[in-house]
Amino acid sequence: MNEVLDAIFQRRAVKVFEPVEISDELREQILNAARHAPSSFNSQPYKFYWVQSAAKKAAVAKLCLGQKPAETASALVVAVADLGSLSATSQGQLEWMRRSNFNKEKIHDYERKAKIGRILFMPGPFGMFAAIKRAFFRLLNLRLVIGMPPLSRQDLLKWATKSTSLACQNLMIATEALGMNTCPMEGFDGRRLSHYLSLSGWHHDIVMVIAIGKKSHDHNEPPQWRRPLDATVTVL
Ligand SMILES: Cc1cc2nc3c(=O)[nH]c(=O)nc-3n(C[C@H](O)[C@H](O)[C@H](O)COP(=O)(O)O)c2cc1C
């Protein structure tokens, strides 16, 4: 068929892994594939914690409710939606544009968009700005065709979770293509895991934990069921 499609169709949520080591090179390839995923405004609003040391892996596996994929994985990746990196990211992109000799117009355009983004994405104390902005956009929407930007902290986390999830899928498909396997997990104690990783209660939200390893011979792969295409797709 095609190597990308092969990886997509072969990938399964693997429940038991063999104890194999993941080389630094492989780790880098997997994480590089993750960060090449598309993201809203190229904001890459996520952080990945790659947990590989035996003691830390055991601690994180326990916080993943002791699930078998977590306990047997060679590495655990905690994918975190991150609102705290937004201004550093836009600053980084701006510096990269200057270094790469983008013309003045493009740089100015980016600066302007980043400024608008900063204003739009600022929920303010107790989400106060969000309420004002929501009312403003609702009014505007009575007359104009406009999209509703993420306004509250909840909206922003949902917004960041979309891009984080795309990076997670890239990570899983790349891992499969590189001969290893994965299991995405949302069964974890978010409060304790956030505390363990010293995450910020305001800026961060754990989207999923991905167990990575080599599928064990003991892994009993159930048949894969999906809803029929016509149940999930409407062709207009
Ligand atoms: C967001 C998300 C959370 C999941 N959480 C868990 C989990 O906590 N434990 C687990 O064993 N599998 C988990 N899974 C794996 C699903 O059960 C699995 O993907 C689904 O049954 C389809 O099987 P397949 O991936 O092998 O096709 C999760 C998958 C996703 C996408």
User: Count of H helices and E strands in the chain?
Assistant: 10, 5
Predicted local confidence at residue 121, as pLDDT:
77
Q: Phi and psi of 63, rounded to 5°?
A: -75, -15
**CA torsion through residues 209, 215, 219, 224, sign:** positive
Distance 185 CA to ligand 1 centre (A): 6
- The pLDDT-based confidence of 151 (bands split at 50, 70, 90) is confident
Predicted pLDDT of residue 218: 84
- pLDDT-based confidence at residue 219 (cuts at 50, 70, 90): confident
Banded pLDDT at 175 (limits 50, 70, 90): very high
User: Would the CB of 64 count as within 6 Å of ligand 1?
Assistant: no
Contact 121, 150 (CB under 8 A): yes
Examine the pLDDT at 123 and tell me if it is beyond 90: no
CA dist., res. 187 & res. 176, Å (int): 22
Per-residue confidence band for 141, with pLDDT thresholds at 50, 70 and 90: very high
Cα 12 to averaged position of ligand 1 atoms, centre (Å): 9
CB of 120 closer than 6 angstroms to any ligand 1 atom: no
Q: Best substitution site from 176, 183, 219, 220 to test ligand 1's pocket, by max atoms within 8 Å of Cβ?
A: 183
Average pLDDT, whole number, for the chain? 95
pLDDT digits (tens, 9 = 90+) for 38-65: 999 999 999 999 999 999 999 999 999 9
More confident site: 161 or 133? 161
Decide: 218 in ligand 1 pocket, CB within 6 A: no
Range name among 32-46, 148-162, 221-235 with the lowest pLDDT average: 148-162
212 in Cβ contact with 13 (< 8 Å): no
Q: Which of 10, 161, 173, 185 to mutate to test the pocket of ligand 1 (most atoms within 8 A of CB)?
A: 185
Residue 94 token pair: 């701006």
Q: How far is the CA of 68 from the centre of ligand 1 (A)?
A: 13
Tell whether the model's pLDDT for residue 129 goes beyond 90: no
User: Quick one: which of 91, 79, 99 has its CA closest to 117?
Assistant: 91
pLDDT at 126 over 90: no
pLDDT class of 2 with cuts at 50, 70, 90: very high
DSSP H helical ranges for 17-124: 24-35, 54-63, 68-72, 86-99, 104-120
Whole-number Cα distances in Å, 7 to 156, 172, 181, 206:
32, 9, 10, 26
pTM metric for this prediction:
0.95
State in Å: Cα 76 to ligand 1 middle.
15
| Mean pLDDT for the stretch of residues 141-161 | 92
The protein residue whose alpha carbon is closest to atom 19 in ligand 1 is 13
Q: How confident is the model at residue 214 (pLDDT cuts 50, 70, 90)?
A: very high
Neighbour-count burial of 31, counting CB atoms closer than 10 A to its CB (0-12 exposed, 13-18 middle, 19+ buried): middle
Percent of the chain's residues with pLDDT above 90 = 84
Nearest CA to ligand 1 atom 5: 185
- Residue 193 — very low, low, confident or very high, per pLDDT cuts 50/70/90? very high
**Binding site membership of 13 for ligand 1 (Cβ less than 6 Å):** yes
- For 61-87, the pLDDT digits (tens) are 999 999 999 999 999 999 999 999 999
